[in-house]
């Protein structure tokens, strides 16, 4: 498979370095140069959300249980996340990126894709554009970023990962195959643990080995769709589209219990609160979704998810909770104490109005009345905090 000769675009991927930890080190000079872990605190259940590069030298990484992080480096600074602080910093960074190009797509709170095609007359070569992105971010916020620039999203993303932290990598179309060849296949997008095991059994460990594997053999073990996707990535083919203001794919909330929970009443109330948080976020962002996802984690990080697609989209916590609770009761989950429970909503449907299934006293509210109730709850919550006003949900924990 050869890459066709054609005019290409220049796509940049910007990734802020150890963002949460860097924000804390920026605000607290006494933390600079020290290992910092943001997330749960030692002595509590939970995981590390972000680790500074000083902490990573001790093997501390995101999603690691905080107990393990503390064992590796008890002298690290352990901090609870301050999401409002991180959101403020993120907004500053994105405002800076829009001074480079209006075509900016947020991939997460600390990542973005930029279409920098045609900026050569204004800012110079792709390398000079990358240096200007990094300079403006550092001058404006004090934060460092790693930037990758290439002919598409995949290459740009891999480029930003290549020389972290504070790195810059530019990959031309002519360099793509050589750039990818020695990389482990694990670097490709959409490759989970099970697929990695399959590649291991096939003796495929690098992108170059994947590139030379017969497509028919990959299809036999992965299926046609997955085989085609990974094969195309191995040759550096990917989308070069950057979509400003692309909406998030899902909204989810979860909680980890201090001790594993067997009591369905406790799980019922926790899930109801999480559904309210998810619904409130969805309403604030003007989103309604049809797919409800339940996440359950047991001892030993054994994790199960269950999904259900509703007939109509919703941003009502009662509908989200009712669907999630039915998934919990009817999802054939192991009968074990629960360590973590979470709920999410996705499958945004723009062409259908949000439908709210009213459970309040089992009598449906008129649509206008129901929206006023939801707006009132949001207003009270905004002013006085969560839990001051909630919708009633019937307690049915055994059916």
CATH numbers and ranges of domains, the chain: 1-174 (3.30.70.270), 181-234 (1.10.150.20), 250-384 (3.30.1490.100)
Largest CA distance in the chain: 67
In this predicted structure, what is the pLDDT of residue 383?
43
Alpha-carbon Rg for the chain in angstroms: 24
Q: Residue 399: its pLDDT value, please?
A: 40
Of residues 244, 293, 224, the one with CA closest to residue 107? 244
* Strand, coil or helix: 257: strand
Please tell me which residue in 111, 161, 254, 349 is annotated as part of the active site. 111
DSSP state of 185: G
CA distance 237 to 200: 23
According to the model, what pLDDT value does residue 362 have?
33
Instruction: Judge residue 280's burial from the number of C-beta atoms within 10 Å of its C-beta, 0-12 exposed, 13-18 middle, 19 or more buried.
Output: buried
pLDDT of residue 356: 37
Asked if 84 and 68 touch (Cβ cutoff 8 Å), the reply is: no
- Only one residue has tokens 């404006």, namely 140
Cis peptide before 165 (omega within 30 of 0): yes
How do 145-150 and 168-170 pair as beta strands?
parallel
Helix (H) or strand (E) holding 217: helix 215-222
What is the model's pTM?
0.68
Helix then strand count (H, E) for the chain reads 15, 12
CA 394 to chain centre: 32
**8 A C-beta contact, residue 138 and residue 144:** yes
**Contact, 159 vs 148, CB < 8 A?**
yes
Look at residue 195 in the predicted model and tell me its pLDDT: 86
Backbone φ and ψ for 346, nearest 5 degrees, come out as -155, -165
Question: 272: closest CA among 358, 337, 343, 362?
Answer: 343
Instruction: State the Cα–Cα distance between residues 395 and 297, nearest whole angstrom.
Output: 22
CA distance 296 to 287: 24
235 near 183, Cβ under 8 Å? no
For this structure, is 24 an active site residue? no
Question: Measuring CA to CA, how many Å separate 48 from each of 22, 45, 213, 236, 398?
Answer: 14, 10, 38, 33, 35
Q: Which two tokens stand for residue 21?
A: 């930890």
pLDDT (tens, 9 = 90+) of the chain, 399 residues, equals 554 444 689 999 999 999 999 999 999 999 999 999 999 999 988 889 899 999 999 999 988 999 999 999 999 999 999 988 998 999 999 999 999 999 999 888 899 999 999 998 899 999 999 999 999 999 999 999 999 999 999 999 999 999 999 999 999 999 999 999 999 999 998 887 788 899 999 999 999 999 999 999 999 998 888 899 999 999 999 999 998 876 678 899 999 888 899 999 999 999 999 999 999 888 877 788 999 999 999 988 889 999 999 999 999 999 999 999 999 999 999 999 999 999 999 998 643 333 333 332 233 434 444 444 455 445 544 444 444 445 555 555 444
Tell me the torsion sign for CA atoms 46, 49, 53, 56. Answer: positive
The pLDDT of residue 86 is 92
């Amino acid at each position: 498979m050869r890459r066709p000769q054609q005019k290409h675009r220049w796509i940049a991927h910007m990734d802020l370095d150890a963002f949460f930890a860097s924000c804390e080190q920026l605000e607290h000079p006494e933390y600079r140069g020290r290992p910092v872990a943001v997330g749960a605190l030692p002595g509590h259940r939970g995981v590390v959300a972000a680790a500074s590069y000083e902490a990573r030298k001790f093997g501390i990484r995101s999603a690691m249980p905080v107990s393990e992080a503390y064992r590796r480096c008890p002298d690290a600074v352990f901090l609870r996340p301050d999401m409002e602080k991180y959101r403020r910093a993120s907004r500053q960074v994105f405002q800076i990126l829009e001074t480079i190009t209006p075509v900016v797509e947020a991939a997460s709170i600390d990542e973005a894709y930029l279409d920098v095609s045609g900026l050569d007359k204004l800012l110079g070569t792709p390398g000079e554009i990358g240096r200007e992105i990094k300079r403006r971010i550092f001058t404006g916020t004090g934060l460092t970023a790693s930037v990758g620039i290439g002919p598409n999203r995949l290459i740009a993303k891999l480029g930003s990962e290549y020389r972290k932290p504070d790195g810059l990598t530019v990959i031309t179309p002519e360099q793509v195959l050589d750039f990818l060849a020695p990389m482990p296949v694990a670097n490709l997008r959409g490759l989970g643990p099970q697929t990695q095991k399959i590649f291991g059994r096939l003796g495929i460990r690098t992108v170059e080995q994947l590139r030379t594997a017969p497509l028919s053999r990959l299809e036999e073990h992965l299926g046609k769709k997955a085989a085609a996707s990974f094969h195309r990535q191995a040759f550096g083919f990917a989308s070069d589209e950057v979509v400003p203001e692309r909406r998030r794919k899902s909204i989810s909330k979860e909680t980890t219990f201090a001790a594993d929970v067997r009591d369905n009443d406790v799980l019922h109330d926790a899930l109801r609160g999480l559904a309210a948080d998810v619904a409130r976020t969805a309403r604030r962002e003007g989103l309604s979704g049809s797919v409800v996802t339940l996440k359950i984690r047991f001892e030993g990080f054994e994790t199960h998810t269950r999904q259900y697609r509703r007939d109509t989209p919703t941003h009502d916590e009662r509908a989200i909770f009712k669907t999630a609770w039915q998934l919990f009761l009817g999802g054939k989950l192991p009968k074990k104490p629960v360590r973590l429970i979470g709920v999410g909503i996705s499958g945004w449907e723009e062409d259908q109005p949000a439908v709210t299934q009213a459970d309040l006293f089992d009598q449906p509210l008129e649509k206008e009345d129901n929206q006023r109730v939801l707006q009132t709850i949001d207003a009270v919550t905004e002013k006085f905090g969560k839990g001051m006003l909630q919708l009633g949900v019937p307690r049915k924990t055994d059916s």
